[in-house]
Amino acid sequence: MRVIGIDCGSERTGFGVIESDGRTHRLIAADVIVTSPRQPLQTRLKAIAAGLRTAIAMHQPDAAAVEGVFHAVNTQTAIKLAHVRGVALLAIAEADIAMGEYSPMEVKMSVVGYGRAEKEQVQLMVQTILRLPAVIRSQDASDALAVAICHATRAGFESRLGAAR
C-alpha cells in the first residue's frame, strides 16, 4: 500500500509518501510546500492545493492520512489551519483515494509509543522506522511521514485482524 501523509500548516505544509505492507515501511518521498505569510491566505491555499495535487499525481498513493483538528490557543491560527485542512481534504477527495484522520496523540502513540512525545522524538523514530541514514531535517515532512506510518500500521493491523476472523 502506498500512503501519503499530510501535516497541514498555512506557511509550511509537509507531505510524506511511504510504501508499506503494514509492518515494514519504505520512504518514497518527503517534502514541504512553503508559502509566504506576506501573501494573502487565498494565494497560499492555492499554492498548497497545487503542491498536494502534484504530489498525489506524481506518487499515486492508494490512501491518504491527515492529522485531525487539535485545540489551538490562538483562534486565528486554528481558523487558518482549518482552511489548509479543507484544501488538503479536497485534494484527496479529487484524487478519489481513501483517507484516514488521526489525532496528534494517536500519531505519536503509533510512531513513538508515547502520545505526548516531542517533535525531535518523532523525527528520530521516523528515521528508525524507515531505516534512514539521517533524520528528515524538516519537522513538517517528518510529521507527515509519521501520519502516513500511523495510517499504514493501522490499516495493516485491521487487515490482519479481519483475516483472522
pLDDT digits (tens, 9 = 90+) for 78-136: 889 999 999 999 999 999 999 999 999 999 999 999 999 999 999 999 999 999 999 99
Separation of alpha carbons 65 and 1, rounded Å = 13
Nearest to 84 by CA among 41, 54, 136, 147: 41
Q: Which three cell numbers stand for residue 138?
A: 524538516
The confidence score (pLDDT) of residue 74 equals: 81
Separation of alpha carbons 110 and 3, rounded Å = 15
Instruction: Count the Cβ atoms, other than its own, within 10 Å of residue 88.
Output: 24
Residue 112: helix, strand or coil by DSSP? coil
| Average pLDDT for the chain | 92
The confidence score (pLDDT) of residue 159 equals: 57
pLDDT greater at residue 164 or residue 2 = 2
Separation of alpha carbons 57 and 40, rounded Å = 26
Question: Grid cell 484522520 — which residue?
Answer: 101
pLDDT-based confidence at residue 161 (cuts at 50, 70, 90): very low
- Quick check: pTM over 0.95? no
Q: Domain segments of the chain: what residues?
A: 2-164
Separation of alpha carbons 51 and 92, rounded Å = 12
Tell me which residues are annotated as active site.
Answer: 7, 67, 140
CATH architecture of 2-164: 2-Layer Sandwich (3.30)
